[in-house]
Amino acid sequence: MAEKRLDTDFLDRAINYAVKAHAGTERRGKGFPYIVHPMEAMEIVSTITSDQELLAAAVLHDTVEDTDVSVEDLRKEFGSRVAGIVEEESDRFTPGISAEASWHDRKQAAIERLAKASMDAKIVAMGDKLSNMRAIARDHYRMGDELWNIFHNKDKAQHEWHYRGLAQSLRELADTEAYAEFVTLLNKVFPIGRDEMAPVKIDLADYEQSGEGGTAISYNHKDGKTMIKLYNDYMPKDVPAREYGVARAIQDMGIVTPKVGRIVTDGSRTGVEFQRISPKKSFARMMSEDPGTTQDLAVRFAKIAKELHSKQCDTTFFPNIKDFFYRVVSGDKFLTESQKTVVRNFIHSVPAAQTCLHGDLHVGNVITDGTTDYLIDNADFSFGNPLFDLGQIYLTGCVIEEPMAIYLFHMTTAQLRNWWEAFVPEYFPGDACSIRSRP
């Protein structure tokens, strides 16, 4: 059967142009022609789109960065859209970053730039980054951790931080096969919960204390971009690594949460670095200050909950929420044994599921900067039936007592009940819903 005819003149010209631009150059340390990489990037992009301008941008993506070709040359030859995508995707054009900047600062700036890039640029970047990740996975299979010695930056932890930052910046493509492969290879090279990430020493003089809790103290970096949470000395030593692993796994699934940076230490305490969201307010604080926002925030909260509950969880890493509640019941000092049996039987009766759960889902654990809404405090992230998350939402919306409601959420019980009444029909659309607050 004859192949369907397709006008490929534009893409053919781009491929020929890239071949000539990269002629005679080797893919760094690989022993094969450089053009193999942009051709692979183009093939990956073809799994996402058939748009020939995007395919052309993919095969041309390194011409400006690694050859004598200029953005203006591409504009004259292939038009403004292709030239603009190549310029947007290239690290060479990251503003405010000089050649003298540290490796970490340059990569941080590139991650932030990619997060703000257009969808066209992100699609092309997906081809580039997945091609790179494939090469790293192949070399790591052959060389193990000796691989990192061939790089200018030989710190494995820094490379992990870089690629997980890229995954977060590309999370809008989380429903593509390319993104899924990227995350699979990422977790193969940097296994979650198996390899410990060595803490990076920080100078606390660069930070200002911003908060204090029962388990940790938080500090904002003076540059305004990051914050750290340093755990108190008496906390178990594996807590920071666990929080880091949970945070990066959640981000790899495309869940919107403040980006995790590195495991850090001030020399005595260990903690985790996060993106600083500024300005920020929790949904609870917003509703307490302006009850008129209740309906809008109920809609947004329901959307976040439904998107979370549509994802299947990695059951090899995240715990089963039923096990958590079994432990809570067993350790409770106020329930009788017969009452514990009733509760255990109820937990057992809830249908099993592998759905992603937040574990502590309420209006205080969603924050916003006015543009983007973020899930926070994800330490209890687990898998199971969404009824467990919904039960938590019901408790905070309808069962909590007035003093605790005001202390935790800055809201009266009446305000929380109004929010619950607005949330229910958004999460359960349709006339069949009969869930309401208690009298």
**Contact by Cβ (8 Å): 11, 55:** yes
| Gap between the Cα atoms of 423 and 429, Å rounded | 10
| Gap between the Cα atoms of 270 and 263, Å rounded | 7
**Contact by Cβ (8 Å): 253, 174:** yes
Identify residue 169 by its one-letter amino acid code: S
Q: Determine what percent of the chain falls in helix, strand and coil, rounding each to the nearest 5.
A: 55, 10, 35
Q: Please give the helix or strand (H or E) that residue 430 lies within, else none.
A: none
- Label the pairing between strands 200-201 and 260-265: parallel
| Gap between the Cα atoms of 75 and 150, Å rounded | 36
Report helix angle 52-59 to 80-89, nearest 10.
Answer: 50
Position of tokens 């208690």?
438
**Coil, helix or strand at residue 382:** strand
φ/ψ region of 148 (left if φ > 0, alpha if ψ in -120 to 50, else beta) reads: alpha
* Catalytic pick among 65, 172, 307, 360: 65
* Catalytic pick among 66, 112, 172, 195: 66
**Coil, helix or strand at residue 323:** helix
- Label the pairing between strands 382-384 and 373-375: unpaired
**Contact by Cβ (8 Å): 42, 58:** yes
| Gap between the Cα atoms of 291 and 285, Å rounded | 10
> Is 65 one of the catalytic residues?
yes
Burial 269-292 (b: 16+ CB within 10 A, else e): bbbbbbbbbeeeebbbbbbbeeee
**Contact by Cβ (8 Å): 367, 279:** no
| Gap between the Cα atoms of 175 and 163, Å rounded | 18
Residue 63 buriedness (CB in 10 A; 0-12 / 13-18 / 19+): buried
What residues act catalytically?
65-66
